[in-house]
Amino acid sequence: MKILVINAGSSSLKYQLFNMESGAVLAKGTCERIGAGGTVTHKKTGAQPFFEERDLPDHGAALARVIWLLTSEQYGVIASVAEIDAVGHRVAHGGEQCKESCIVTEATIKYLETIVPINPLHGPPAIAGMKACIELMPELPQVAVFDTSFYSHIEDFRYVYPIPYEFYEKDRIRRYGFHGTSHRYVSAKVAEVMGKPIEELKIITCHLGNGSSITAVKNGVAIDTSMGFTPQEGIPMGTRSGSFDPTVLTYLMRTKGYTPDEMDDIINRKSGLLGISGLSNDCRNLHDARENGNKRADLALKMMTNGIKKYIGSYIAEMNGVDAIVFTAGIGENQSDIREEVCADMEWLGIELDIDRNRNFTRGIPFNISKEGAKVQTWVIPTDEEYMIALDTKRLAFN
């Protein structure tokens, strides 16, 4: 069985074709600058990568090129589209109605169109990606997998915001949570490698990349998460501020005359690690700068690691304990210094790293980095959102 996973962004379309018998990726790639020129990067596993500049006016054109590549004699891995069994779509926002992954129907698309106002960046490209696939591969089952659905069991006192209740009732302003597919994958994986049923575990998953979120998973269910109405809430990220006193926004708008769009730009693209350090949004650069005595790089990293520590502490309190902490994504999987800083001085909570294991381990596989005998197990688990989407697609399309 072969499943194509599609992740459509505002000007990009990423894809992976899985062989579900072996779990292997047969080919993957990215179309970028859709609507503003266009580039295509394609890689058949085991072969040289293919790259081209090509006019891609919309997501439909990008998808047509992907299908051409997947079926081409030179770069392809299948003889025709008929070899693909189903398509899985990453959808960032499922609103309040899409509580689980589902087969895409007209009603699904109609509902997703109604929530575009609360998901203006990611909604339209996801819908365009689904429509393009339906048009080009009408006979195939299409499955939507939502980043928000892992959070559909969070209780109201954790998702309602402390502003007049009508904003929730009338405008659907609430915590939705994001990165759910990644948190779902790594929490299931850590239970598997610990050899325990997830229903008996309390897990805190830290997805730390350019965007970062922390999730509390109790007995297999996400009970709280750091991201909120948008992926802006939580800890300081690459260029996003994360949470801070909301009055700062109104103060700045009043005193400096910023428009809502300008304010959005500041908190989304000019804040976080980049805004604090004035240097970079990339942790690797900040790590080097800090080693060379750069105080603001040091400040930015301390603010991030302290933010993560605070979420871990609060989720331990909310779950009345923790069995496993998981680090994943670009920073979580690769930056041992950040993991050490987050886990420092938490012996009292049972969290202790084996420094040698933390610094020297085999990349790309789950790895236990906790000290022998530590009460809480700390793991690095490589995330694989695309494979999770492929698994959901297989389950929904063929069960």
Catalytic residues: 147
359 binds ligand ADP (CB under 6 A): no
What CA–CA distance (Å, rounded) separates 352 from 189?
A: 21
From residue 200 to residue 239, what is the string marking binding to ligand ADP with x (rule CB under 6 A)? ---------xxx--------------------------x-
Instruction: Determine the residue with CB nearest ligand ADP.
Output: 330
Among all chains, which residue has been given the structure tokens 């915590």? 175
- How big is the site for ligand ADP, counted in residues (CB under 6 A)? 12
As measured in angstroms, the least distance from the Cβ of 281 to ligand ADP is: 7
Choices 68-76, 219-227, 228-236, 330-338; region in contact with ligand ADP by CB under 6 A: 330-338
Query: How many other CB atoms are there within 10 angstroms of residue 3's CB atom?
Result: 27
Q: Which two tokens stand for residue 130?
A: 């689904």
As measured in angstroms, the least distance from the Cβ of 236 to ligand ADP is: 12
Residue 112 sits at the vertex; the CA angle it makes with 106 and 116, to the nearest 5 degrees, is 140
334 binds ligand ADP (CB under 6 A): yes
**CA dihedral sign, ordered 230, 234, 239, 244:** positive
Residue 83 sits at the vertex; the CA angle it makes with 82 and 88, to the nearest 5 degrees, is 95
368 binds ligand ADP (CB under 6 A): no
Say if residues 124 and 91 touch (Cβ distance below 8 Å): no
Phi, psi dihedrals of residue 75, rounded to the nearest 5°: -110, -10
As measured in angstroms, the least distance from the Cβ of 9 to ligand ADP is: 11
Q: Which two tokens stand for residue 125?
A: 């490209």
As measured in angstroms, the least distance from the Cβ of 220 to ligand ADP is: 24
Say if residues 181 and 147 touch (Cβ distance below 8 Å): yes
Among all chains, which residue has been given the structure tokens 């050490």? 340
Indicate the residue among 211 and 242 with the shorter CB distance to ligand ADP. Answer: 211
Q: Which of residues 255-314 bind ligand ADP (CB under 6 A)?
A: 282-284
Among all chains, which residue has been given the structure tokens 């894809």? 15
Cα–Cα distances in Å, from 320 out to 180, 196, 261?
Answer: 22, 19, 41
Of 205, 215, 230, 335, the one binding ligand ADP (CB under 6 A) is 335
Of 60, 330, 343, 386, the one binding ligand ADP (CB under 6 A) is 330
Choices 22-30, 90-98, 248-256, 325-333; region in contact with ligand ADP by CB under 6 A: 325-333
As measured in angstroms, the least distance from the Cβ of 250 to ligand ADP is: 29
Residues within the interface to ligand ADP (CB under 6 A): 209-211, 238, 282-284, 329-331, 334-335
